[in-house]
Amino acid sequence: MKTKLDDSAVAVRTRFGWRAAYLLASVGIYLVDQSSKAWAVKALRAGREHTVVSGFLDFIYTENPGIAFGQMQEGGNLSRWFFVGLAIAAGIAVFVYFIRTPRNDDRVLGACVLLLAGIAGNLTDRARLGYVVDFIVVHAGSWHWPTFNVADASITLGALLLAYDVIFNKDKSRDVRSPLPATANTRASDSSS
């Protein structure tokens, strides 16, 4: 005969199992980012360019010591470690949000996974090298998007998914829970009354 405690233990295992799968996907995106940057360093660093789609997509090696879109590049070593600290804080905040998000909110969980992978990818470069390796150039005619990498694309997509959720699901009541199982939450609220 199953008890409430057994159901609670199964719920906790299932919840952490799904989160582990999401985190494994994040590690996969991180590895793709780091592998692609290693390829860019080896294949493109000497000034070689690789055209993927003529007039639209090129691979050109770039070192970005600043932040998004090449801003704040003149800060030197102090800004490097400031950005490392900022990335660590952002990663922790996203991870806490990920843990507190309900299991059935796949869009937000997916957004968190993309953000975590991108933050970790660029953080690795910045801490190890002092700059972020960018190499993907999208352009059309005279229009050029700033050079980016897989981590940047992951962060952008994750941020867009979160923005979509905030804008279009603001009427839906957001149920961000503590990482405790429902029965523990009930007991905790009962004891505080």
- Determine which one of 58, 134, 165, 175 is catalytic: 134
- Determine which one of 33, 58, 125, 152 is catalytic: 152
Q: CA torsion, points 3, 185, 92, 164, in degrees to nearest 10?
A: 100
User: What is the SS3 assignment for 167?
Assistant: helix
Q: Among candidates 132, 111, 100, which has minimal Cα distance to 25?
A: 111
Q: Is 106 a catalytic residue?
A: no
C-alpha to C-alpha distance for 151 and 168, rounded to whole angstroms? 26
C-alpha to C-alpha distance for 97 and 178, rounded to whole angstroms? 10
Q: Is 134 a catalytic residue?
A: yes
User: What is the SS3 assignment for 18?
Assistant: helix
Question: What amino acid positions are annotated as catalytic residues?
Answer: 134, 152
